[in-house]
Amino acid sequence: MKLFFSPDQMAHNPQKEISDGKLVDAVETPQRAQMVFEALKDVAGVTHADMQDFGRKPIEQVHDTGYIDFLHAFGDLWVEAGREGEGFPFVWPGRDFRTDKVPHHLDGKLGHYSFDAGTPLTGKTYGAAYASAQSALNGADALLRGDGAAFSLCRPPGHHAGKDYYGGYCFFNNAAIAAQYFRDQGAARVSIFDVDYHHGNGTQSIFYHRNDVQFLSVHADPLEEYPYFLGHADERGTGMGEGFNFNYPLPLGTEAPTFLHQIQQGLTEIDRYDPDYLVISLGVDFFEGDPISQFKLTHPDMTKVGALLRTNRPTLFVMEGGYAVGDLGRNVAAIIAGFLL
């Protein structure tokens, strides 16, 4: 199994994030990727592979060009505005505000292109997010060339990012970019199974009106947990996409048996859909020791998660969340070891 990761992904190195009304130490750090990379290299059957640059085009197949340009220009705009440190939005369009005009002012742009104040944006973010998307594309390319599975160590993560907004530590939606790339290279159907603790709101939104990419997500109930405004079981897709979106919200405190059962349910739907490729948006923030999450899966449970995700379909793992830095490496390694068994 090839492992894709570029050191350029480390450049986004936020110091602080807004949480509980304070600036606190950022949890989505480059060290996360370092830990996962070191642990995965030691898993039998995993090899670090060289990366190609697929350019900006495949990112533009998912994201709005104005949004991409904004992330690219942000560092200069921030300095020109005489600001220091990391950028945070503080104003968003309320329910009946206009979103058809992009404000000229930086604070207006920040609100226009984001949905939370918990995601630090810096002059180094674009390069790292671009490299993270390239890791996803290299993984997709490996499967298109015949590999049965690949691991794209994407970081910064992607599943909260929509077509034209960032949030939840996510800027480019790596899983969506990979899925779209499969489609653009001739695949008829792709499934994305999101098994991060949080709902993959960005990925859901990108494909909500489409029947060529099926989206499924197991996550904490949005009535109780971030991202709060999407991820309910009655969100089934719209128009042509109706019946191609599946949410499995679970209560806080969920333990392995319930979690594994819902994954099994998702896999049954995937079988029914019969995709050419399966993308797993993998976050390990369902771990009991995660500092910002409230599911109760143990380290030994990780092997079971990996084993369950073993199907007869070409499978691309795309890294999402997981913030228990000390356990992150061994948890991801256990999932992949279980998958490769």
Q: Which residues bind to Zn ion, rule: CB under 5 A? A: 196-198, 283, 285, 321
Choosing from 159, 160, 199, 219, which is the catalytic residue?
160
Neighbour-count burial of 19, counting CB atoms closer than 10 A to its CB (0-12 exposed, 13-18 middle, 19+ buried): middle
Q: Which is nearer to ligand Q9C, 5 or 169 (CB)?
A: 169
Helical spans, DSSP H, in 166-316: 174-184, 201-207, 256-273, 299-308
List the one residue from 89, 120, 157, 231 that touches ligand Q9C (CB under 6 A).
Answer: 157
Instruction: Choose from Zn ion, ligand Q9C, none: what does 19 bind? Cβ within 5-8 Å by kind.
Output: ligand Q9C
List the one residue from 182, 208, 215, 226 that touches ligand Q9C (CB under 6 A).
Answer: 226
With vertex at residue 331, the alpha carbon angle to CA 330 and CA 332, rounded to the nearest 5 degrees, is 95
282 DSSP β-pair partners: 319
List the one residue from 14, 58, 118, 162 that touches ligand Q9C (CB under 6 A).
Answer: 118
Q: Say if residues 2 and 52 touch (Cβ distance below 8 Å).
A: no
Q: Catalytic residue at 299?
A: no
Rounded to an integer, what distance in angstroms lies between the CA atom of residue 331 and that of residue 341? 15
Tell me which stretch binds ligand Q9C (CB under 6 A): 56-64, 98-106, 126-134, 163-171: 163-171
Q: Which is nearer to ligand Q9C, 112 or 198 (CB)?
A: 198
Task: Give me the torsion for CA of 203, 206, 212, 215, rounded to 10°.
Answer: 30
Q: Say if residues 129 and 293 touch (Cβ distance below 8 Å).
A: no
- What is the C-alpha end-to-end distance of the chain, expressed in Å? 12
Contact call for residue 196 and ligand Q9C (CB under 6 A): yes
Instruction: Choose from ligand Q9C, Zn ion, none: what does 118 bind? Cβ within 5-8 Å by kind.
Output: ligand Q9C
Instruction: Choose from Zn ion, ligand Q9C, none: what does 86 bind? Cβ within 5-8 Å by kind.
Output: none
Q: Which residues bind ligand Q9C (CB under 6 A)?
A: 19-20, 118, 157, 159-160, 168-170, 196, 198, 226, 283, 285, 292, 320-321
Residues labelled as active-site residues? 160
